[in-house]
Structure 1
Amino acid sequence: MGQAMIQGMIRSGSVSIDQISATAITEETIDFVSGEIGIRISDDNKRLAADSDILFLAVKPYVYQGVIEQIKSELSEDTIIVTIAPGINLETMRKYLGKNVKVIRSMPNTPSLVGEGMSVLCPNELVTETELNAVLDLYESFGKAEVIKENLMDAVPAVSGSSPAFVYMFIEAMADTAVQQGFPRDKAYKMAAQSVSGAAKMILETGEHPGKLKDDVCTPGGVTIEGVTALEKHGLRKAVIEAMNATTERSGYLSKQ
């Protein structure tokens, strides 16, 4: 996720390569990021923390406490820490840090890599409006972003953080069927992916209800309504709702650990 965000920021031109530094555990990752992205990268978390104005913690939830123990003595009161992990809430960060520090809880998604991310942010009370807007601008450089209240954060992975995986499965199923019906694999993926992308853009740009847009495609007695009926018969909506509820439940569980 960190690499996707970095590349999204650089491609948008919102920051330059020399304004970004990072750390990683393995030499393999350090060599890859240095070679592919060109930013400064090392394994020195303390130095990075001391030198950063905005510090993104793009690590797995289970290593947060250990990383924070390494760096908390290096943080100034002006450093803005941005978390990127499900289940790590603002109160947890306060306990880990042991002091009052500016923290913004965030949840981006991997389409940030291509400038089409959807990110959600939630600041603690120490973050000023100017500081929040500065971080918001960075997130909007690689997609869209919203600020919400923290009580909604556990539901974010289902609707935006994890949901690209669900959409990929839908596209894969469409493409597999197209291949079964005779299309070359590359054309099947292109047609399915572009159709999903276009449908999403229709919602965002027209502001129309998805149900109305669906109805607009369904000619009476036509082929589309037959497909819609089959999806309803086999429980598409139910499957999606259950997937999202399961994701939210897991996110809530992690927040309590």
Structure 2
Amino acid sequence: MTDTFTLDTDIALIGCGRLGSALVEGWLATPGFKADRLKIIEQYETSATDQAKAAGATINPSPEQMKGVGILVLAIKPAVWREALQPFADVIPEDAVVASVMAGVRLDDIRKAVGGRPVARLMPTTAVAQRQGVAGLYSPDQKARDVATALFEGMADVVPLEAEDLLDPATGVAGSAPAFVYAFIQALARAGEAEGLKPDAAVRLARGALRSAAAGVSGGQSLEDAIERIASKGGTTRAGLDALEVDGGAARAATAAVSAAVAKARDLSR
């Protein structure tokens, strides 16, 4: 990740739903990002489009205003991406890069739809809004990889992938995983209630544990070291970990969740 936004080009974003809004919020929060160089195509007003407009972005630009776009970001629902893209596919410059954050839409299909322009696919987490995201990235084109990395690295740890099919497991491990982690934290809070904590106290303690866990690996420490730093032999944490590992419980649950997410992603791409 970097501390500042370094790209010097106009950016157009098609789609400002949940993920598109997170991208907008992350860009606006990144030092050096110039909102007046952002153009958003979105049918409905959202808090993100209002925030971007107030900062100087153009909402629903004319085709003429799209002629200087250097990066086109696709954050559209996969079911309607062709129709949403069509009015702009021939308007953007020939050397523009297309970055897709759509799940299940193959890179070759996008490249054909944009006349062979370089394309990168990314699967970011919505924590890009807080500049704390992570994004899997695949592209066979070096320019597309470089531009997409620069576009996201101010708000996400960009992880290059060797093959497009690896975006599906990347989605399961990172894109979908925050919800898996939240579900586990919710289960921890309920377990605390079962042991006598009041609901509000249980939730606050469980959320605090999540923040503590994130802080514990913020410096790049290995997960094994982070666990061992807390789980002293014969202590309460080790007892809890041993219970999690009975019959492969934690690993089995994680494998099932990731496998289901990957299977769904691959089903969507058919």
The reply to whether TM is greater than 0.5 is yes
C-alpha spacing 1:49/1:196, structure 2 compared with 1 (3 Å): same
Greater Cα shift, 84-93 or 36-45: 36-45
Q: Which residue of 1 aligns with 2:50?
A: 35
Distance 1:249 1:48 in 2: 40
1-side partners of 2:62 and 2:232: how far apart? 59
Alignment RMSD: 2.4
Quote the residue 2:179 is aligned against.
165
2:134 is equivalent to residue 118 of structure 1:
yes
Q: Percent identity?
A: 25
For residues 150-189 of structure 1, the C-alpha deviation after alignment (integer angstroms, 9 at most, x for no partner) is 231221110111111111111222233334532462x544
Cα distance, 1:13–1:179 mapped onto 2, change above 3 Å: farther
1:113 deviates by: 1.0
1:10 partner amino acid: L
Change (3 A) 1:183 1:17: farther
Counterpart residue number, 2:7: none
Task: Identify the match of residue 94 of structure 1 among 105, 111, 120.
Answer: 111
AA partner of residue 196 (structure 1): L
Return the alpha-carbon distance in structure 2 between the equivalents of residues 221 and 108 of structure 1: 39
Change (3 A) 1:183 1:115: farther
After the TM superposition, which residues 1-257 of structure 1 pair with which residues of structure 2 at under 5 Å, given as runs?
1-26=19-44, 28-29=45-46, 32-37=47-52, 38=54, 39-44=56-61, 46=63, 49-97=66-114, 99-125=115-141, 127-128=142-143, 132-149=145-162, 150-180=164-194, 181-183=196-198, 185=200, 188-208=202-222, 210-233=223-246, 235-255=249-269, 257=270
Deviation of 1:118 (Å):
0.2
Once the two structures are superposed, residues 188-239 of structure 1 have per-residue CA deviations (whole angstroms, 9 ceiling, x without a partner) of: 444323422332343352533x234323322333211221122223722201
Equivalent-residue separation in structure 1 for 2:34 and 2:208 (angstroms): 31
Kept in 1: contact 2:100–2:121 (CA 8 A): yes
Aligned residues, how many? 247
SS at match of 2:23: helix
Structure 1 16/107 Cα, relative in aligned 2: closer, same or farther at 3 Å?
same
Please tell me the residue identity of whatever aligns with 2:117. Answer: V
- Structure 1 pair 75–206 and aligned structure 2 pair: CA distance change class (3 A): closer
Length-normalised TM-score, structure 1? 0.84
In structure 2, give the amino acid aligned to 1:193. R
Name stretches of at least 5 consecutive residues in structure 2 with no aligned partner: 1-18
Bigger helix share: 1
Question: 2:134, 2:154 → 1: CA distance?
Answer: 11
- Which amino acid is 1:132 matched to? R
Q: TM-score, normalised by structure 2?
A: 0.81
